[in-house]
Structure 1
Amino acid sequence: MSVVVYSMSAFFQAQGEWELVLINYFKTDAPILDEVQDLLVYEITIKRRPLLYVINIMLPVFSFLVLDVTSYFMDADGADKLSFKVTLLLAISVLLLILNDILPSTAEKLPLIGIYCSVIFSLIGISILETIFVNYLKAKGAEIRSAAFVQRTVAVIDQDDGVREVQIPPDQNEIKISLCWMRVAEMTDTIFFILYIVTIIVFLSVLASIWVN
């Protein structure tokens, strides 16, 4: 019997996400229909192939995270940066749907790969909210600045020349307010970028230590 069992484990080839590790068997007795009968119990040990998930899920999600980080070097005055981030979020959403079909639904706790994808999805979502906020601050400052530089023309009555037009210079207070809005937007973007990088490094380090242990 042992020769047959070990030959089965030697010639068995897994063609999927599972890998055959070990096949054990033992003999026991069990009462069946009020009679004690001999039973032969087989224990089959299998494990998932991690390289499949690393290539198909973890690397694409990490590449999306890298693209999100590099998007901070794009011009934030237009809508290209925001649309780029939304596209990344939608791409990760599709990967999460695929992950939901691949992982077993009977798992007692969320696997590490699920935590990995969910946290990165949340980080990119928070990054989108920060981009919207920064764009609002810069648009507000640009609006005040453009209003300050609008040429204001008034009519002045002169005793010698009659009526003539005089242009009022831009309001310096509005220019200072506009610069304050721009400065706050830049500081917010810089501080969030630093915190974003630190959060990513800490999260990946903790997740790697849990995975190794």
Structure 2
Amino acid sequence: MHLHWLIVFLVLTGQESDAENCNDTETAKAKKRLFDRLSLNENYSQNTRMWPLTFHDDPLDVKYFDPATIFVDIYVTSITNVNEKAQSISTQVKMITGWPNSNMTWTPGQYCGIKSYAAPKNMFWTPDICIMESIKTDFGTKESPYVQLRSEGFTVSTDVLALTTACKMDLYRFPFDTQICNITLQSTVYSDQEIILDTLSDAEWATFKSKEVFQAQGEWDFISINSTSSTIGDDIGESEINQLIYQITIKRRPLLYVINIIIPVFFFLVLDVIASFIDTSGADKVSFKVTLLLSISVMLLILYSTLPSTAENIPLIASYCCAVFCLIGIGILETFLVNCLMARGAEKRSAETTSTVSGRDDGERDQKSPPDSVRDQNEESFTLNRLKQILTECWAVTPPNQRKKLSWTRVMI
């Protein structure tokens, strides 16, 4: 069996000590003998300060164990926070690190089948692996003071880390976005000719194991975790450093944003359109539309507090809210214009009605009250006709002997 898969089988299956054909007393004695065999009661500087295979005497064992390879596995156990504004993600991960140490080998059959042994971590050399994107790194629980020694000459360290790492996010499709955040592991001093980082398991197993131990995710769904390798030049520029890059893929759950932002903004636009057909005064329409505009402004403030101000592409949801904001603003201007035109039209119609009524009254007054000259002529004609009627009556009743005198009188009149 290839060493890589042997290590995967031993580390990931987590085989416990197997005290075959031994009682408790014999097992305890075997552990004491193994403790002395591994010289754990002594403190060798070679174990604590130097790469453990530097002074190995058997070159065949060195080639077999591939001593320049350090195996690392990362399992995501929870996603605690994703800060779009700060472009960072907070996760809790389980990090398993394994490296060969041929100075710590034994035959399990000679020690009651003991295949692993816990030893103090400060007694052994540990790889200086750092996380390049780390903003803040803490131990999720208390740091384990022990490492696990395997009988095959393999040392395993398991840590639970609470990481806050930088993550460049593409929020163009927010809140229907999928983000890929990297965790880059590398040594700070060892070049790629001394240390090569590799994975204990493949991406499929790491994804399955992460989903199995996942604790909390909030509004994010964990999709997968993949790994790639690369090399970069060191700061001095004389050599290259090997990197192991884990790519964590997560997807946002958009339901909360759909309910709180997208649907309300759409109904604000519908209400604005409906308000244009309401038969009310212009002031009521304007006040209603201004209220809708202020509501859209609140939505924009919420997006401003969530999305980064330095995004390369404007998110679609921001464009959507701005478009609705502009449409409602244009609707308010349209309401002002329509009200102004209606007011001017009403004034014009009022003026025309007033002038028409005034002309009609003058005509009626002219017909009922003729001019003074006509009225004087009519009065004079009426007086003469009346006098003629009176004279005719007097002539009829006057005796014939007096008509001559009356005739003269009439002439004189």
| TM-score interval, normalised by the smaller of the two chains | 0.5 to 0.7
Report whether the alignment pairs 1:14 with 2:178. no
Q: 1:31 to 1:6 in 2, by over 3 A?
A: farther
Of the structure 1 ranges 33-42 and 112-121, higher mean CA displacement relative to structure 2 is found in 33-42
Report whether the alignment pairs 1:117 with 2:321. yes
Matched ranges for 1:54-133 at <5 A: 54-133=258-337
Q: Deviations over 1:5-48 (max 9, x none)?
A: 642344333213x4322211234455547565553321111233
Q: Once the two structures are aligned, what percentage of the paired residues are identical?
A: 51
Contact 1:86 1:128 in 2 (8 A): yes
Q: 1:103 to 1:19 in 2, by over 3 A?
A: farther
More strand by share: 2
In 2, Cα distance between equivalents of 1:89 and 1:14: 35
Number of residue pairs aligned between Structure 1 and Structure 2: 160
Contact 2:282 2:335 in 1 (8 A): no
Q: Counterpart amino acid of 2:286?
A: L
In 2, Cα distance between equivalents of 1:96 and 1:147: 48
TM-score normalized with structure 2 length: 0.35
Q: Secondary structure at the match of 1:15?
A: coil
TM-score normalized with structure 1 length: 0.63
Q: Which has more radius of gyration?
A: 2
Matched ranges for 1:142-181 at <5 A: 142-150=346-354, 152=358, 158-159=371-372
More helix by share: 1
Q: Secondary structure at the match of 1:79?
A: helix
Contact 1:9 1:23 in 2 (8 A): no
Equivalent in the alignment of 2:227: 25
Q: Which runs of 5+ in 1 are unaligned?
A: 162-213
Report whether the alignment pairs 1:49 with 2:253. yes
Q: 1:109 to 1:83 in 2, by over 3 A?
A: same
Contact 1:26 1:40 in 2 (8 A): yes
In 2, Cα distance between equivalents of 1:37 and 1:109: 34
In 2, Cα distance between equivalents of 1:140 and 1:28: 75
Q: 1:146 to 1:19 in 2, by over 3 A?
A: same
Contact 2:206 2:225 in 1 (8 A): no
Q: Deviations over 1:144-164 (max 9, x none)?
A: 223334464779775359xxx
In 2, Cα distance between equivalents of 1:149 and 1:114: 52
